[in-house]
A and B are shown apart, each in its own frame.
Chain A
Amino acid sequence: MLSFIGRSIVQKIITLFFVSIVSFLIIHLAPGEPSQVDPMNPKFTPEMVERFREAFHLDEPLHVQYLYFYRDLFSGKTISWKDNLPVLKKIWERFLNSLPLFIVGTILTWTISFPVGIRSALFRGGLYDRSFTFGAYLLISIPGFFFAYSLIIMVVYLFQVPVIGMETFGIGDTAWTNRAMDRIWHLLLPSLLGATGGIAVLSRYVRSQMLEVEGQDYVRTAKAKGLAPDQVHYKHALRNALLPFVTMFGLILPGLIGGSVIIESIFAWPGMGRMAYEAILARDYPVILTINFVSAVLVLVGTFISDLLYLVVDPRIRL
């Protein structure tokens, strides 16, 4: 167990090192430079460009730039080229904005997909199951931006509530109940949209897991000895079908920083995805690289946690 943990930590650190190199190379070897973002601006004289390049070490060779960048990142001194704010602080602020979306989206995903998937597995081949299958494919296939606009039109026409942004502009200091309702309305649509893909995939997975367990011998035995169907389904079958899902808790971690670029720009939500999009437009390399690095860390930590959970949950696995 301890040797497994040690080995996988070393492995993940090596992976992370290569990820940092690859992402750095991708960004810096692409044609064009941040100093050329706005060539039409009369303030960008050649001397200004030269000063800019010097201030951000752009005139150094690549490996020196690489060392500079990661030295700054680990000492927490990286600053954004666009507005000279510390990158980590910027990311933290945006992260706090994205966090409610992520939490509500995750809760929606996990609470909706389980009942739906289990029910369609229990009534396999029936009308419910077939319409559920089609619905799941529909949700996977619908382009997020199109779905977002359809939902916005529907909500605006049906309920006459505003949905763009984090809160209604100028809501000021009305009663806290109004403000809370306002926040909930604004939160609901983007997090639902962020959850659609997850709901479709996860509920299909729940269904297939449940079907597999329902075909096992011990479930037949439980039925044969005359247990109530509920007890068979929810005590004998479901508990064993849940096993792979425990490990998926680790895999939702990367979603923390990903945020959805498209959803956040449609809803004018000042979250991580939108910041990443703006950073890409402005060629703000420190922000892009930091987001990339942090998300790679989260992916690796997520897989590590899910491996560990698998070890803890499934006694059959011994490493």
Chain B
Amino acid sequence: MNVNPHTDAQDYQLDEPLVPKRTRLQEFWRLFKQNKLAIAGLVFFILFFVLAIIGLTLTSGTDPVLDPALVRLQEKLRPPLAKPNLEMLQPDERPPLGIYVFGTDDLGRDVFARMLQGSWVSLTVGFVAVGIAIIIGIFMGGIAGYYGQRHIRIDQLMAAGFLTAGAVLLITDLIWAGAVFLLCGMACILISILTKSSARSKTKPAWARFWYFNTISIDTLVMRFVDIMLCFPSFFLILTVVALLPSSIYNIMIIIGLTSWMGTTRFVRAEFLSLREQDFVAAARALGLNNFRIIFRHMMPNAVAPVLVSATIGIATAILTEAGLSFLGFGVPPPHATWGNILSDGKGFIFDAWWLTFIPGIAILVVVLSFNLFGEGLRDVLNPKLRERN
């Protein structure tokens, strides 16, 4: 493939070099620039990222510059840009900026500091949850797309069944039954390994034919699992699990991640099904590369475009879900501020202190909107069908 144009130039009779003038990234940027909304989305996205990191450094630690948890009961519900009442405050209670930029809440806490603290929560929830979803999605979709045609044999099915049953029984305190099931599972695996050589011979006994009987394919198994997960009403499921588990920010990230990988799985599977029939994959296989290298070095870069788009939009959805959970009171535990619980705390004062509702609400709106616009811009640029039209 990698022909040097200088040595073989006369053979090809080309006036121009073979290498395209623009790199892929330049081409991408040229198309992306045309979409004004997507550019606006990108700008706000970067702004939000920077703000969240600044917010983390300013509001964390033992003696933060802007203390989001400092209660000033004499300065309740001050409107935005209000000047603090200096003679009522201790020197260390004075806001470092000289004014309350976003006002104070019903406990006299600085809303600006709380918003900065909350921005980091929104950012991490969005990225970690989507990261988990993407990893699971790529893994499941990759298996279904690449190994999908292989079948699961009876012996594997039995081993897996015994092992899960044993694990479940162990969890429910039935140690003896669990141990028996686990041993059965181990025995299944052992028998399979030991009889592997005899199974290859042409005259198989009846029990071996049953033992190695092909049941459903891996593809069917994974896609049925996706169907099962899609049957759950997602917000209700997240709410149930979050309410049952002890409330912490990590649980929320993990749960949102674990309940939103189905879309990615479907995309990756579809891409892999078409990619594995392509010539470059056949060439890679003919070169003797192992499956791991083919999947991650050759196929994944070609399948990543739709994943990237769904990830960007997934971050927006995750931020919205987290805000909704915080609003219902299931979010991050109280002293820590998130945009959802600032709004939820402020809803009682909606007619007296509008800023407690509108500042976090508009912040969530702008961030989610920027992620959505950026994601849709990416989709347009990465879609080759639309590229020709421009």
Interface residues of A (CB under 8 A from B): 11, 14-16, 18-19, 22-23, 25-27, 29-32, 61-62, 133-134, 137-138, 140-146, 149-150, 152-153, 254, 257-258, 261-262, 265, 276-277, 280-281, 283, 288, 291-292, 295-296, 299-300
Contact = CB atoms under 8 A, between A and B. Distances in A.
Nearest to B371: A141
Contacts of A299: 230-231
Given A19-B231, A143-B365, A299-B231, A26 B240 contact: yes
B239 A30 contact: no
Contacts of A288: 240
Contacts of A32: 244
12 contacts: A15-B224, A15-B231, A18-B224, A31-B246, A134-B37, A138-B369, A141-B368, A149-B361, A150-B358, A258-B233, A276-B239, A283-B244
Contacts of A149: 347, 350, 357, 361
Interface string B356-369: 01101110110011
B246 A280 contact: no
A160 to B, nearest CB: 14
A27 B244 contact: yes
B330 to A, nearest CB: 9
A292 B236 contact: yes
A92 to B, nearest CB: 18
Contact of B372 (A31, A61, A137): A137
Contacts of B323: 143, 145
Contacts, number: 118
Given A30-B245, A31-B244, A143 B227 contact: no
A19 B324 CA distance: 25
Contacts of A137: 37, 369, 372-373, 376
B365 A144 contact: no
Interface string B101-126: 00000000000000000000000000
Interface stretch (B69-77, B78-86, B167-175, B294-302): B167-175
Given A19-B228, A281-B243, 10 more contacts: A18-B228, A27-B244, A29-B171, A31-B245, A62-B172, A137-B376, A146-B360, A146-B365, A265-B328, A292-B237
Nearest to B177: A61
Ordered nearest first, which 5 A-B pairs have the shortest CB separation?
A146-B361, A30-B244, A141-B369, A141-B368, A296-B231
Interface centre among A29, A133, A146 (most CB of B within 10 A): A146
A27 B240 contact: yes
Instruction: Name A's interface SS.
Output: helix
B244 A141 contact: no
Contact of B232 (A23, A30, A31, A281): A23
B236 A291 contact: yes
Contacts of A29: 171
Interface in B283-333: 316, 320, 323-324, 327-328
A61 B240 contact: no
B328 A140 contact: no
Given A140-B372, A145-B343, A149-B347, A26 B241 contact: yes
Nearest to B227: A15
Contacts of A277: 239, 328
A72 B365 CA distance: 45
Nearest to A61: B172
Interface in B333-371: 343-344, 347, 350-351, 357-358, 360-362, 364-365, 368-369, 371
Contacts of A265: 328
B240 A280 contact: yes
A119 B325 CA distance: 37
B372 A141 contact: yes
Interface string B207-234: 0000000000000000010011011110
A105 to B, nearest CB: 16
Given A31-B246, A141-B316, A262 B324 contact: yes
B28 interface: no
B176 interface: no
A30 B237 CA distance: 13
Contacts of A283: 244
Contact of A22 (B172, B228, B368): B228
Contacts of A26: 237, 240-241
A15 B230 CA distance: 10
A300 B316 contact: no
Contacts of B29: none
Nearest to A254: B233
Contacts of B246: 31
B381 to A, nearest CB: 16
Nearest to B169: A61
- Tell which of A134, A142, A152, A265 has the most Cβ of chain B within 10 Å: A142
A154 B320 CA distance: 23
A146 B343 contact: yes
Nearest to B235: A261
